[in-house]
Amino acid sequence: MSLLEQLIEAFRVLPGVGRKTAQRMAYHVLERGRDGGRDLSRVLAEAVERIGHCSQCRDFSETEVCAVCASGGRDRQVLCVVESPADRLAIETATGYRGLYYVLQGRLSPLDGIGPRELGLEALATRLAAGEVGEMIVATSATVEGETTAHYLAQLARQHGVRPSRLAQGLPLGGELEYVDRGTLSHAFGSRAEMPR
Amino acid sequence: MSLLEQLIEAFRVLPGVGRKTAQRMAYHVLERGRDGGRDLSRVLAEAVERIGHCSQCRDFSETEVCAVCASGGRDRQVLCVVESPADRLAIETATGYRGLYYVLQGRLSPLDGIGPRELGLEALATRLAAGEVGEMIVATSATVEGETTAHYLAQLARQHGVRPSRLAQGLPLGGELEYVDRGTLSHAFGSRAEMPR
């Protein structure tokens, strides 16, 4: 296989990149982005070797403890549990949240062999037992597996005297009633709240 | 900047990859594709250093002369001129063409400072003058710049006694008349041909 063919195949490891896109990437790098290609190669090799997981929150980190967990400026009484590093980043970027995080790196899915052990729930339980955390925000996704995980996490929290809370569900901002799915609409209708004066 | 941030930024050198996609790529590689990431890094570094241009057709090649130009099984009397390596690959994949290629790596665009010299047209002229080529297939794109380039190439061919030909223009296969653009429809209508019995 020629080096160009190898490069095209190698790009296909990236998510959402099929044969055509991989080809375009290879040609682009060779035609107009050799310096960028060099950088990407170097940083990628370094990242793959050096980025591990934070020993406290399980998020990606190049250090034993990540910057958020090590920070002195965060509220250590609130713990937000998310499924993935991407979810953590989304919350950190979109909200003004100043507490800590716990990244499950997945969600409960017995059929796929993903149980409490794979999600690091033992370590989470130990942390809740330590008594520092007062509220646990369960920010798993609003899917069946996410809800199952949320339910499990809520029980775990209560066992250790920690108050569990869950992100609000309802119409998305800018959501047209006509186009919102039935489940969401039904839930939002049932959970209607009195309007303030 | 953390290593993860650097990785996300580095992915943005790829075409069509914005901040969000770059993030998804970085997370994907770290979560599920570390081996693939290592491969990509290695092949990318090697490709960026070692892939140059074929001295005969200007296509990408890791050797002085590319496999197609070096092949004994191609018809050396037909030369197909294309704008880019991607165009060359598309023709090679879609058609049964067995002649040789010449890759311009661009198209005439005086405003952008791209003239005959940048497209290697001197070397092309030398090759046409050598007398081996009988037909030159001009496969530049059907855009204004592509047409200008085609016109220039046709003149060059005739100067050296070489027959220039151009890809047919008309309705694309499966094209609905209603949705085809006016220019294409007008051209196809004007170039109508008598149907065989």
Residue B180 lies in a domain: no
Sort out which chain A residues have CB atoms less than 8 A from B52's CB and list them. Answer: none
Q: What is the CATH number of the domain that holds A13?
A: 1.10.8.420
Q: Given the DSSP bridges, would you call strands B60-61 and B52-53 parallel, antiparallel or unpaired?
A: antiparallel
The identity of residue B93, as a single letter, is T
Dump pLDDT digits (tens) for B37-76.
Answer: 999 999 999 999 999 999 999 999 999 999 999 999 999 9
- Specify whether B11 is located in the same domain as B103: no
Residues in A closer than 8 angstroms to B89, CB to CB, are 23
- Per-residue pLDDT band at A70 (split at 50, 70, 90): very high
Beta-carbon pairs below 8 A across chains A and B: 148
Nearest to B30 among A3, A24, A51 (CB): A51
- What average pLDDT does the segment A160-187 reach? 84
From residue B41, how far is each of A1, A10, A14, B48 by CA, in Å?
A: 17, 9, 12, 11
CB burial of residue B173 (10 Å; 0-12, 13-18, 19+):
exposed
CATH number of the domain that B149 lies in?
Answer: 3.40.1360.10
State mean pLDDT over A108-137.
91
Count of domains in chain B? 2
Considering the domain architecture, whether residues B26 and B85 belong to the same structural domain is answered as: no
The partner residue sitting opposite A4, judged by closest CB among B4, B60, B84, is B60
| Statement to judge: residues A9 and A71 lie in one domain | no
Q: Residue A194's pLDDT is what?
A: 78
Smallest CA–CA distance from A84 into chain B, residue: B27
Question: What pLDDT is recorded for position A137?
Answer: 92
pLDDT tens column, B119-149: 989 999 999 999 999 999 999 888 888 889 9
What pLDDT does A60 receive?
Answer: 93
pLDDT in the model for residue A95: 86
Query: What tokens were used for B167?
Result: 């890809």
Same domain, B123 and B99: yes
Distance in Å from the first CA to the final CA of chain A: 71
Same domain, A103 and A121: yes
Instruction: Report the C-alpha dihedral over residues A67, A72, A74, A80, rounded to 10 degrees.
Output: 50
B160 with B66, same domain? Answer: yes
Q: Which residues of B touch A67 (CB under 8 A)?
A: 2
Task: Select the residue of B24, B51, B89 nearest A30 (Cβ to Cβ).
Answer: B51
Confidence of residue B196 (pLDDT cuts 50, 70, 90): confident
Nearest beta carbon to residue A15 from set B4, B25, B62: B25
Is residue B156 one of the residues assigned to a domain?
yes
Q: Which residue has the higher pLDDT, A180 or B161?
A: B161
Is A186 contained in some domain?
Answer: no
Q: φ and ψ at A191, to 5 degrees?
A: -100, 25
Shared domain for A64 and A30, answered yes or no, is: no
Structural domain range at position A158: 60-166
Pairing, β B60-61 against β A75-82:
unpaired
- Per-residue pLDDT of B154-186, as tens digits, reads 999 999 999 999 888 888 887 787 888 888 888
Confidence of residue A111 (pLDDT cuts 50, 70, 90): confident
- Joined tokens for residue B131: 């007398």
Q: Which helix (H) or strand (E) holds B150?
A: helix B144-159
Whether A36 sits inside 8 A of B46 (CB atoms) is: no
Residue B138 lies in a domain: yes
Residues B65, B160 within the same domain: yes
Q: Is residue B171 part of a domain?
A: no
Which carries the bigger pLDDT value, residue B102 or residue A174? B102
The rounded mean pLDDT for chain B is 90
Give the number of other CB atoms < 10 A from CB of residue B161: 11
Inter-residue contact A42 to B45 (CB < 8 Å): yes
Question: Are both A93 and A136 inside the same structural domain?
Answer: yes
Strands (E), A21-59: 52-53
On whether residue A182 sits in a domain, the answer given is no
Which DSSP helix (H) or strand (E) runs through B164? strand B163-166
* Residue B101 Cα, gap to closest chain A Cα (Å): 17
Restricting to B residues 1-60, those with a Cβ less than 8 Å away from any Cβ of A are 2-4, 6-7, 10-11, 13-16, 21, 23-31, 33-34, 36-48, 50-51, 60
CA pair distance A136, A113, nearest whole angstrom: 25
Question: B191, B169 in Cβ contact below 8 A?
Answer: yes
CA distance A159 to chain B (A): 31
Q: Using an 8 Å Cβ cutoff, are B99 and B74 in contact?
A: yes
Structural domain contains residue B184: no
Classify residue B192: in a domain, yes or no: no
Q: How confident is the model at residue A74 (pLDDT cuts 50, 70, 90)?
A: very high
Nearest to B48 among A23, A37, A46 (CB): A37
Q: How confident is the model at residue A176 (pLDDT cuts 50, 70, 90)?
A: confident
Q: A78 with A161, same domain?
A: yes
Mean pLDDT of chain A: 90
> CA–CA separation, B102 vs B136, rounded Å?
10
What ipTM was assigned to the predicted interfaces of this complex?
Answer: 0.77
Residue A51 has pLDDT above 80, yes or no: yes
Q: What local confidence, expressed as pLDDT, does residue A26 receive?
A: 94
Same domain, B40 and B107: no
What is the per-residue pLDDT for B195?
Answer: 72
- Specify whether A45 is located in the same domain as A120: no
Whether B108 and B116 have beta carbons less than 8 Å apart is answered as yes
* A8 in Cβ contact with B56 (< 8 Å): no
